[in-house]
Amino acid sequence: MPGNLAPGICRPVRPASGGVTKLGSSFLLTTSHGHLLHPRLSSGRPGVWLAAPAAPSSRRFIRQKKGETKESIDRDLIVSVLESANKRDARGYFRKYFGHLDANSANHSPKLDLPGTIKNRALFVQGNGQADLDTTNPEALHVAVVKICRPQTIDDSTMEGVAKTLSQLRMLGLLSVIVMDCGSRSSRALSSEQANRLAFFLDASDPRSATVVENTLLADLPASTYSTTPTGRIDATIIRRVLNAGKIPIISGVSSPRDADTAEDDTPESIVVALTRALSGNNPARAGVLPESPATIESVIVLDPAGGIPMANAPGVPHRFVNLEQEFDTIIAALSGQHSHSFLSGPSSSPNETSESHALNLLMVKDILSILPPAASALITSPLLAATTARPEAVSPRPSRQELHYGGFATVKTRPTKNPLIHNLLTDKPVYSSSLPVDKLARRDPTGRHTPNAEIATLVKRGMPVTILGGTGLRPWTPPEPGKRQLRLTDQAVDLPRLVHLIEDSFGRKLDVDNYLRRVDDKIAGVIIAGEYEGGAILTWERPDGLSAEEAYKSGRFVPYLDKFAVLKSRQGSGGVADIVFNSMVQDCFPRGVCWRSRSNNPVNKWYFERSIGGTKKLEGTEWAMFWTTPGLQPESQEVRDYEDVCRQTQPSWEG
């Protein structure tokens, strides 16, 4: 395929056994099966290249059901990678999974052998290797703890797809430890049957890749202070040996001192928590004993036919992202009150059982994430979605009037349906941004009508606290009565130096602090702070030109205005900080609507456009575009005219 190489790039010599080859300022990863890089990008993004077979091979492929070959499995994986990873994501994935490359090895070593399972893929990463590839211990095992709920209800086709996805995770460097949850009162015979069923499909997808582990020992421990799930300890010696051999252990049964045929007292949730603790080296049973080299538990994956955690205010639509620090109590309370809602029911379960299943999943995930590093995450989704291969998805039947008129901000309305497990491994993000309005995710049924998109996985992280400071002390925020004191940025509740640093770091410009404080004094509606000033928003109550505070208050014409929206550069594109701040603004503070402006050439405008469910307008004769989330406003309404007046008259407060 010489014609497929980019101009100016020579075909590299292919390492015989796979590895890393330095190519200018980039690194070429090749597979042990002779993959070269193909510069055709399905996404059109620079920096991520398609790995494709260099030439027909005489290598015998393991035949799958219905004639599927190992080569076609690799091809599906390549498509998933391309649909998920941009350059930033690729760097993050490479940094985590591909071992350490320091300056000397990058400049002088033509090839670096990769750990076993990682040799099975190719990746092209642009940039300075010395700066971007500072990584973790290459010898560490990267592990996902997977709980498959009610596997006996999953049909063979779906289970085969799940096995294929787990094999692809293994090829990408993430080994799974699988716990089969057939129910707390299920027999060990049923668990063993389902474990061997999954092992059959895993071996068909990736020969000799799985091992069924029987009768792992679980012993009781006193309840921990942080856990709401019953606790225990697991002897992980056998499991660790299986992982060290590069295989996927499937735990079919857990023995306990009671040694009964049913494990009535050992809940599947307690087993998963204990297993995570044992594998991560956080095992109270081995206190005072030199630990074995622990695995790095990257994530917890829950495959439940009930799917992701449902949203209380959007029936039929699961949460895309859960920030435990902020949302756990609210979601658990909502689940406890949703038993009568039929939309929560999953296959072969009552609404009551499904709600309880969602709550147990979230409680277990909270317990596990509390003992793992802050970067760890959990993914809760259905087996059907975990078995997904990339396919086009029609999201909207036609562009809206605004999208046609303001084509510069229009979004693509046909998105690929991505496998959430592969996507999360490569990006550490949910498939759909959590701040994207639910209506944007609506799908078309065969008649063309919009229906809720229930095929959404829930990504869960320990996350960060959100501090909301509002002058009225009420949420949703309302304009204060004239003469009443409002929050000021110089108040003790606000750490002004850190807030200024956040703004300047995010915008890359110096703020004229004195001028800015004069402008927003007595206008502050509130301030939203995510974490330790990692992200934030400053919101004000503005008045249209010519109106006094008294007139604006009496006529209801105070304009809710987003004055500053900032995320530290180090947190942009990761961690969901922008989504957390935006959701707090539009859900808690200004649910009735808020407006803001942005320079017309701002690359963030596409992100803004997707979230401005009210409308968008280019302000003629200026460099600004205006956005608002207030629903149902006509373009010539008084509210829109007031929004435009505020956006036109607001003066920047930057130095220089």
Range from 8-12, 163-167, 209-213 carrying the lowest mean pLDDT:
8-12
Other Cβ atoms closer than 10 A to 175? 23
Range from 119-123, 137-141, 435-439, 605-609 carrying the lowest mean pLDDT:
119-123
The whole-number pLDDT of residue 352 equals 73
Q: Which of 65-69, 265-269, 406-410 is predicted most confidently?
A: 265-269
Residue 183: pLDDT band by 50, 70, 90 thresholds?
A: confident
Instruction: Please tell me whether the overall predicted TM-score, pTM, comes out greater than 0.85 for this model.
Output: no
The whole-number pLDDT of residue 316 equals 77
The whole-number pLDDT of residue 134 equals 35
3-state secondary structure of 199: helix
DSSP assignment of 214-253 equals --EEEEE-PPPSS-SS--EEE--HHHHHHHHTT-EEEE--
Is the per-residue pLDDT at 344 higher than 70? no
Is the per-residue pLDDT at 137 higher than 60? no
Residue 8: pLDDT band by 50, 70, 90 thresholds?
A: very low
The whole-number pLDDT of residue 477 equals 92
Q: Which tokens is 101 given?
A: 């490359």
385 vs 391: CA distance, rounded Å: 12
Is the per-residue pLDDT at 194 higher than 50? yes
The mean pLDDT of 382-403, rounded to a whole number, is 62
The whole-number pLDDT of residue 518 equals 96
Residue 184: pLDDT band by 50, 70, 90 thresholds?
A: confident
Is the per-residue pLDDT at 407 higher than 60? no
Greater confidence (227 vs 28) lies with 227
Is the per-residue pLDDT at 235 higher than 80? no
Strand 624-628, strand 615-618: pairing: antiparallel
The mean pLDDT of 61-88, rounded to a whole number, is 56
The contacts of residue 616 (CB under 8 Å, 6+ apart) are 402, 406, 409, 608, 609, 625, 626, 627, 628
Is the per-residue pLDDT at 185 higher than 70? yes
Other Cβ atoms closer than 10 A to 638? 13
485 vs 470: CA distance, rounded Å: 11
What fold does the segment set 466-649 form as a domain?
Answer: Aminopeptidase (3.40.630)
Give the chain's mean pLDDT: 75
Give every strand in the sheet of 210-213, ordered side by side: 210-213, 248-251, 175-181, 142-149, 296-303, 377-381, 458-461, 321-323
The mean pLDDT of 129-149, rounded to a whole number, is 65
Q: Which of 95-109, 118-132, 134-148, 160-174 is predicted most confidently?
A: 160-174
488: phi > 0 → left, psi -120 to 50 → alpha, else beta; which?
Answer: beta
Q: Which tokens is 550 given?
A: 């008294």
DSSP assignment of 454-483 equals ----EEEE----EEEEETTS-SS--PPPTT
The whole-number pLDDT of residue 548 equals 94
201 vs 210: CA distance, rounded Å: 9
Backbone angles phi, psi at 284, to 5 degrees: -60, -25
What is the percentage of the chain residues whose pLDDT exceeds 70? 65
Is the per-residue pLDDT at 5 higher than 60? no
Is the per-residue pLDDT at 54 higher than 60? no
The mean pLDDT of 368-395, rounded to a whole number, is 84
Closest CA to 456 of 438, 475, 432, 440: 432
The mean pLDDT of 316-332, rounded to a whole number, is 93
H/E element, 355 = helix 351-370
3-state secondary structure of 502: helix
The mean pLDDT of 430-447, rounded to a whole number, is 79
Is the per-residue pLDDT at 161 higher than 50? yes
For the stretch 479-513, pLDDT in tens is 989 988 889 999 999 999 999 999 999 999 999 99
The whole-number pLDDT of residue 388 equals 86
H/E element, 105 = helix 103-108
Q: 149 and 159 in contact (C-beta within 8 Å)?
A: no
Domain ranges of the chain: 2-132, 142-381, 466-649
Amino acid letter, residue 411: T
532 vs 526: CA distance, rounded Å: 17
For the stretch 574-614, pLDDT in tens is 779 999 999 999 999 999 999 999 999 999 999 999 999 99
Is the per-residue pLDDT at 73 higher than 50? yes
Is the per-residue pLDDT at 329 higher than 70? yes
Other Cβ atoms closer than 10 A to 546? 7
232 vs 257: CA distance, rounded Å: 12
Residue 139: pLDDT band by 50, 70, 90 thresholds?
A: low
Amino acid letter, residue 58: S
Is the per-residue pLDDT at 131 higher than 80? no
The whole-number pLDDT of residue 446 equals 59
The mean pLDDT of 614-642, rounded to a whole number, is 95
Greater confidence (253 vs 279) lies with 279
Residue 81: pLDDT band by 50, 70, 90 thresholds?
A: low
359 vs 371: CA distance, rounded Å: 19
**Residue showing tokens 């004639």:** 67
Catalogue the E-assigned strands of 49-141.
Answer: 50-53, 123-125
H/E element, 211 = strand 210-213
- CATH number 1.10.760.10 given to 142-381: no
